[in-house]
């Protein structure tokens, strides 16, 4: 996993350099401290997928380019077989699998998200990113907090929200949760 993080960090550093944007300027545009961004770009810390999405949007490239180093090639349809999409591990308890990585000019980014259970007293980790997000729970029970509002979702439940609002998720009942996330 460390090698994958290092490669992604290299790609975003190259995008920034080719675009003539300073590290400090990009960090400010992403609303994060320059030191934290420097850690991401050096490969010293895993980069949240929401931040990767923002960087891809800023530099007008497909998220796939950042995740895999290759441009999407498909225009009519894209099939991703079970377990075959590129994965991004945000942190140990949270993983994303891209479900349309090879489709060009997407208007949305679909992911299969897996959330591992944590002790009940563990804090929920928040993020925010431009756009809107749709989540559909496939397995387990998921606590979602959006803008301070707590929602508990079970299998078959869905949620659509402004992803610019601080939000976080946590698997409940000591079991993993899986959900389809679509970022628009």
Task: Tell me whether residue 78 is in a domain.
Answer: no
In the block, tokens 């439940």 appear at 157
DSSP H or E segment with residue 98: strand 94-98
What local confidence, expressed as pLDDT, does residue 34 receive?
94
Question: Does 159 map to a domain?
Answer: yes
**Distance (Å, whole) CA 165 – CA 136:** 18
Categorise residue 41: left if φ over 0, alpha if ψ from -120 to 50, beta otherwise: alpha
Residue 92 and residue 175 in one domain:
yes
pLDDT score of 160: 97
- Contacts for 182 with CB less than 8 Å, ≥ 6 apart: 108, 109, 110, 111, 133, 134, 135
Alpha-carbon distances, residue 179 vs 38, 41, 153 (angstroms): 31, 28, 10
Residue 151 confidence (pLDDT): 97
Q: What is the pLDDT of residue 91?
A: 55
Judgement on whether residues 102 and 159 belong to the same structural domain of the protein: yes
- Verify that 92 and 173 share a domain, yes or no: yes
| Token output for 12 | 């975003």
The domain that holds 36 is classified in CATH as 1.10.260.40
Please report the sign of the dihedral spanned by the C-alpha atoms of residue 158, residue 159, residue 160, residue 166: negative
CA-to-CA separations, 149 to 102, 134, 152, in angstroms, rounded? 35, 16, 10
Q: Classify residue 11: in a domain, yes or no.
A: yes
Domain residues for the domain of 49 are: 2-68
- The total number of structural domains that make up the chain: 2
Q: Residue 163: inside a domain, yes or no? A: yes
What's 175's domain CATH number? 2.60.120.10
**Tokens describing residue 140:** 């387990």
Are 179 and 91 contained in the same domain? yes
Under 8 Å between Cβ of 26 and 16:
yes
Find all residues with CB under 8 Å of 25, minimum gap 6, and list them: none
Distance CA 36, CA 77 (A): 37
pLDDT by residue, tens only, the chain of 184 residues: 578 888 999 999 999 999 999 999 999 999 899 999 999 999 888 788 888 888 998 999 988 899 888 888 888 988 988 888 887 665 556 788 989 988 998 899 999 999 999 888 888 888 888 889 999 999 999 999 999 999 999 999 999 999 989 999 999 999 999 999 999 8
What's residue 178's pLDDT? 97
Q: Is 113 inside any structural domain? A: yes
Q: Cα separation of 108 and 115, whole Å?
A: 21
Can you give the pLDDT at residue 47?
83
Q: Is residue 76 part of a domain?
A: no
């Amino acid at each position: 996993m460390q090698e994958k993080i290092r490669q992604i960090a290299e790609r975003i550093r190259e995008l920034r350099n080719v675009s003539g944007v300073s590290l400090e300027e990009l960090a400010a545009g992403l609303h994060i401290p320059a030191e934290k961004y420097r850690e991401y770009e050096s490969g010293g810390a895993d980069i949240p997928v929401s931040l990767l999405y923002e960087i891809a949007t800023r530099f007008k490239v497909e998220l796939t380019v950042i995740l895999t180093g290759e441009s999407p090639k498909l225009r009519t349809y894209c099939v991703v077989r079970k377990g075959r999409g590129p994965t991004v591990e945000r942190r140990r308890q949270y993983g994303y699998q891209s479900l349309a990585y090879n489709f060009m000019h997407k208007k949305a980014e679909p992911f299969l998200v897996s959330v591992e259970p944590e002790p009940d007293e563990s804090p929920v980790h928040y993020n925010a990113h431009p756009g809107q997000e749709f989540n559909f729970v496939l397995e387990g029970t998921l606590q979602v907090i959006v803008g301070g509002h707590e929602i508990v979702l079970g299998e078959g439940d869905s949620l659509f929200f402004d992803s610019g609002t601080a939000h976080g998720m946590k698997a409940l009942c000591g079991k993993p949760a899986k959900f389809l996330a679509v970022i628009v």
